[in-house]
Amino acid sequence: MAQGPAGNWDEVSITGAIIRGFFQEFADSLRLDVAIAGAGPSGLTAARYLAREGFRVAVFERNLYVGGGIWGGGMLFPRVVVQEEAAPLFEEIGVRLKPVEDDLYLADAVEAVSRSTAAAIEAGARIWVGMGVEDLVLREKDRVSGVVLNWMAVERAGLHVDPLAVHARVVIDATGHEAEVTRTLQRKVPGLRLDTPSGEVVGERPMWSQVAEATLVENTTEVHPGLIVAGMAAGAVHGSYRMGAIFGGMLLSGRKAAALAAQICRGEG
């Protein structure tokens, strides 16, 4: 006799598990301490440090995959370099580093993304993929108070679909080279001046790796009440040099963004 299928489940059990599971957990992400736009190296690092401290943190990533620019390493060679002071941030999550010349260390890009993601999730951060931050929620005196979300699929298809919103005490713009969230704020609030020397998004300069890495952490600041910039977005907002395929600054910037966000959440900011 032919063996019947094992278990009591059917297609609707699968559908129900996915729909109920998603909505229960997403409902838990509606009021956050910190919302992070972008799951590249800076966003994932910020998420891990904040979640470790017990903050309610979620990362909203437009793509269906996390990792941002790590995957491509340098020019599609899937290896990334970090410098000495950033090495512990990879080592503490088990990313294996190989010492190479001139006090630099080499990591496998796939291992770096996988362990950074796993570490953020294990620490308690939620990561939502396929959801882009298309706008911000503002409150009195234009304080940033949350993110406005829509599916990347909606954006790609050019559909007219209204977004949904999530509240957060702090938002971290970790959207990379475009600094998209900060640019959106500037575009949508006429006359707004950022708390930066130039008061506006300057855009990144050409490459000067050492200077870029040194200034990135300095440039990781609260640029408007409730809005912190991290990673390449911090470089673009402040108008600093780019660094190429060295990722230590991204990790250190993510850690600083987490520390700044934690201070604000604790009322010390």
Q: Which residues bind ligand 48H (CB under 6 A)?
A: 37-43, 60-63, 68-70, 132-133, 174-176, 180, 207, 231-233, 242-244, 247, 250
**CB of 266: closest distance to ligand 48H in angstroms?**
24
Distances (CA, A) of 28 to 3, 33, 98, 107, 109: 42, 12, 40, 34, 31
**CB of 243: closest distance to ligand 48H in angstroms?**
5
- Integer Cα distance of 214 and 109 in angstroms: 22
**CB of 3: closest distance to ligand 48H in angstroms?**
45
- Integer Cα distance of 181 and 190 in angstroms: 15
CB closer to ligand 48H out of 145 and 253: 253
CB closer to ligand 48H out of 100 and 207: 207
248, containing H or E segment: helix 248-265
Are the C-beta atoms of 157 and 186 separated by less than 8 Å?
Answer: no
CB closer to ligand 48H out of 38 and 226: 38
- Integer Cα distance of 235 and 217 in angstroms: 9
Residue type, 172: I
**CB of 14: closest distance to ligand 48H in angstroms?**
28
CB closer to ligand 48H out of 226 and 231: 231
Residue 13, classified by CB atoms within 10 Å of its CB into exposed (0-12), middle (13-18) or buried (19+), is exposed
- Integer Cα distance of 91 and 245 in angstroms: 18
**CB of 185: closest distance to ligand 48H in angstroms?**
12
- Pick from 47, 17, 55, 90: nearest CA to 257: 47
CB closer to ligand 48H out of 14 and 159: 159
Q: How wide is the angle at C-alpha 85 spanned by C-alphas 80 and 90, nearest 5°?
A: 50
**CB of 152: closest distance to ligand 48H in angstroms?**
8
**CB of 188: closest distance to ligand 48H in angstroms?**
13
CB closer to ligand 48H out of 37 and 260: 37
CB closer to ligand 48H out of 143 and 242: 242
